[in-house]
Amino acid sequence: MLRQMEKVGLQYLQPDGTLTPEGEVAWKPIERPLKIEFYRWMCKIRLFDQRAVILQRQGRIGTYAPLQGQEAAQVGSALALNREDWVFPSYREHGVAMIAGMPLKQILLYWMGRVEGCRPPEGIKLFPPAVPIATQIPHAAGAAWASKLKGEQSVAVAYFGDGATSEGDFHEGLNFAGVFRLPVIFFCQNNQYAISVPFSRQTATETVAEKAAAYAIRGVRVDGNDVLAIYTVMKEAVERARSGEGATLIEAVTYRHGAHTTADDAGRYRKQEETREWVELRDPLTRYRRLLESEGLWSEAEERDWEAHCKQEIEEAVREAESAEVPPSSHLFAHVFADLPPSLVRQRESLFRLEEG
């Protein structure tokens, strides 16, 4: 079995829903409300993700990047942060964005191509999703440096995939963080594929985490489908950063259940037996729900009620996003150039004349 062959790193919650001895130690001090919150968030994020895929198929949002299968990595890490921390996501961190305080309506507007979807509410330290690969990594290092220079306690987190580790920005961000001992966390969701390129073609090293040694920062490999292990590792990394001990590179070993985006066909480059192993035997929600049920913290009735609540909230967000005021056509030419080049000036004037005529 793939599960027996592959090393997923630190694991507290096993795929069958039982805790390891180390997991028992990590589980006991966590308060009951947080234990339940882990699962509630994972459920809500999965339901939103499934609805978003349907919306894209119906032509109601643009190309969308699903996250199903990576809920534990996002929930466990995001719940270890506070509102003073800076988050620099890639295009797949919808779950992180929700926990940070981004309304569902705003997330949907982003995937509708609306600039409003990039603007979080006042006080939410969440940058817009970075579509260019790895560009958010130096940004996070820069924010962490600013925090350190100002004597603040905030931490910066960059989220990225395994493909980003092949970019120069990855090296530059980690090198800068190591040299200046910055309060930053580099959170890699290694979902095994950068679109169709397998992890084995990204790097000659066995893991992402071991790359940390080159920058004299801490590196940790953890089971990305184990929300308890993710939370524990992230909590430790945050505490280290706040206390001046520097950066951490976390590699969360996970798997996206579906395609890279709705424009992709994962069946063309992934074997069915591999996908079946991850989806049926390693699912992050299934294993955690088993744990909650064994502890008497969750039931079928609570599952039905929470699912109904989430679906209602998601549908309300869809209605709000679809009823938003139509943006002016001038938005097509905004937010890229400070001074439009002549070719775009001509296109803009041509569009305006068509609208007036």
Gap between the Cα atoms of 146 and 25, Å rounded: 36
Please say if 287 is a catalytic residue: no
Residue with tokens 């280290």: 240
Q: Which of 170, 198, 202 is nearest to 186 (CA)?
A: 170
For residue 178, give every residue at least 6 positions away whose Cβ sits within 8 Å of its Cβ, in sequence order, or none: 215, 216, 217, 246, 247
Beta bridge mates, 252 = 189, 222
Amino acid at 53: V
Closest-CA residue to 285 (of 9, 95, 54, 93): 95
Token readout for 29 is 């001090």
State the helix-helix crossing angle for 300-322 and 32-57, rounded to 10 degrees.
Answer: 50
Q: Residue for token digits 């549908």?
A: 315
Q: Are 66 and 53 in contact (CB under 8 A)?
A: yes
Pair of tokens at residue 168: 């120069």
Of 269, 304, 319, 346, which is the active-site residue? 269
- Give catalytic status of residue 268 as yes or no: no
User: DSSP secondary-structure letter at 126?
Assistant: B
Catalytic residue among 51, 92, 218, 256: 256
Q: Indicate the SS3 state at residue 231.
A: helix
Identified catalytic residue from 46, 94, 240, 260: 260
The CA radius of gyration of the chain, in Å to the nearest whole number, is 21
- Side-chain half-sphere CA neighbours of 13 within 13 A: 29
Confirm whether 260 is a catalytic residue: yes
Burial letters for 230-240: b for 16+ Cβ neighbours within 10 Å, e otherwise?
bbbbbbebbeb
Write out the catalytic residue numbers: 256, 260, 269
